Amino acid sequence: MWYILLLAFIGYITLYLVSTYLKKHRGPILGITCFSFLIFCEFYLVEEMEWHKIRGAQMLLVMRIISIAFDTDFGTLEHIPSPFEFMGYICCCGTCIFGPWIPYKNYISLCDRTPLFICVSLHRWLIAYRDAFAFRSSHYFISFLSEASAMISGFGNESDSIWSFVVTRPLSIEAPRSLVEVVIYWNRPMHYWFKTYVFRSTRPLGSVAAVLSTYIVSILMHGLNFQLAAVLFSLGGYTYVEFSLRHKLAQVFDACIEAHPCRQRCSHRHKAKQLSTKLANVGFGILTMFHLSYLGVMFDMSSTLQEKGYSYSHTLSKWSNLHFASLWVVLGTYIFYLLI
């Protein structure tokens, strides 16, 4: 790697000195300098095996240095680039390894190009997805460790098949069918506990009361933290709205689009394998990923606040930065559910 950087340094110093004092013959002088450096490295400085690994990148680097020198001689460039512009061009991450060679003017036009509006508008959401995914990845790591420790202790061999003790299913969370399934597969044993001992015990009070009680108990168990409370309460409301809407839509369109997958012999006219049904479920899955990015954005793994817990101002500022978009979408979804 240092051979490439050394050639870049020598190339720019030579270009600067020639442009300052001679002000002509930049191309031939830079060509002689670069080829002399290549010959010296190949025969005297670098081992043969290592040179074969980097000679492609060296060739691209030489082409770029020489092209800048000749373009300056021809008048295509009014002046030599600054050190930062020079290094940015020859080390352009998109073309410095596999190529191809691109003229300096094309590189500059790329840098001066107006960014796409969709990229600008989605930038904060990409950051939100990144932060949420980082948090989920740490959860997967701990869950797999718990699976391993449980299986080492002898759990998971209830049958003659391969031992299995599932705590989480990352694929069902990263490519979800619904938020309901995300809640289920986030932690299977914990979900079973809440379903058995909290949800079913409070089910006689009504579905809303049962869901609310489940999430209240979950909040108490996780600790009285505003951040977790906000996320869990939001999940409770989100999953209730999603489950109710998809249940009603499944009845209206007679299709397998409920929050849970239908059984193999369901009574719906439009089965799960039909294209329209698949598109609907994919659409709901994308909406779920949108909600997960919003709900997980405040779990900033790089922040020092995570050691002592996040304050309510941190949570609200993160959601405010996204204009509470997910909350408005859920509110609109609930209104749509009431109207149909």
The pLDDT tens digits for 2-61 are: 777 888 899 999 999 999 998 889 999 999 999 998 888 888 887 777 777 777 788 888
| Per-residue pLDDT at 335 exceeds 90 | yes
Q: How confident is the model at residue 129 (pLDDT cuts 50, 70, 90)?
A: confident
| Per-residue pLDDT at 137 exceeds 60 | yes
Give residue for tokens 């996780």: 222
- Find the mean pLDDT for residues 76-98: 85
Q: How confident is the model at residue 258 (pLDDT cuts 50, 70, 90)?
A: very high
| Per-residue pLDDT at 336 exceeds 90 | yes
pLDDT of 11 reads: 92
Active site includes 191? Answer: no
pLDDT in tens, 269-325: 888 889 999 999 999 999 999 999 999 887 765 555 555 556 677 778 888 888 899
Give residue for tokens 């009603």: 248
pLDDT of 239 reads: 92
Q: Which amino acid is at 40?
A: F
- Give the 3-state DSSP-derived string for the chain, with helices as H, strands as E and coil as C: CHHHHHHHHHHHHHHHHHHHHHCCCHHHHHHHHHHHHHHHHHHHHCCHHHHHHHHHHHHHHHHHHHHHHHHHHHCCCCCCCCHHHHHHHHCCCCCCCCCCCCCHHHHHHHHHCCCCHHHHHHHHHHHHHHHHHHHHHHHHHHHHHHHHHHHHCCCCCCCCCCCCCCCCCHHHHHCCCCHHHHHHHHCHHHHHHHHHHHHHHHHHHCHHHHHHHHHHHHHHHHCCCHHHHHHHHHHHHHHHHHHHHHHHHHHHHCECCCCCCCCCCCCCCECCCCHHHHHHHHHHHHHHHHHHHHHHCCCCCCCHHHHCCCCHHHHHHHHHHCCCHHHHHHHHHHHHHHHC
| Per-residue pLDDT at 334 exceeds 90 | yes
- The burial of 128, by beta-carbon neighbours within 10 Å (0-12 exposed, 13-18 middle, 19 or more buried), is given as buried
pLDDT of 307 reads: 55
Report the distance separating Cα 87 and Cα 85, nearest Å.
Answer: 6
Q: How confident is the model at residue 181 (pLDDT cuts 50, 70, 90)?
A: very high
Range with the poorest average pLDDT among 15-19, 52-56, 89-93, 255-259? 52-56
Give residue for tokens 């999430």: 215
- Among 26, 109, 94, smallest CA distance to 60 is for 94
Report the distance separating Cα 141 and Cα 143, nearest Å.
Answer: 5
Report the distance separating Cα 328 and Cα 339, nearest Å.
Answer: 17
pLDDT of 169 reads: 93
CA distances (Å), origin 14, targets 17, 22, 42? 5, 11, 21
Mean of pLDDT over the chain: 85
How many Cβ atoms from other residues are within 10 Å of residue 319's Cβ? 20
Catalytic residue among 25, 52, 123, 222: 222
| Per-residue pLDDT at 121 exceeds 60 | no
For residue 118, give both structure tokens.
Answer: 């969709």
Instruction: Say what percent of the chain tops pLDDT 90.
Output: 33
CA distances (Å), origin 151, targets 144, 163, 189, 213? 11, 8, 14, 32
pLDDT of 166 reads: 86
pLDDT of 173 reads: 93
For residue 4, give both structure tokens.
Answer: 């490439």
| Per-residue pLDDT at 76 exceeds 80 | yes
Could you tell me if 260 and 268 are in contact, meaning their C-beta atoms sit under 8 angstroms apart? no
Give me the residue spans of the domains in the chain: 2-112, 121-339
Q: Please tell me which residue, 326 or 108, carries the higher pLDDT value.
A: 326
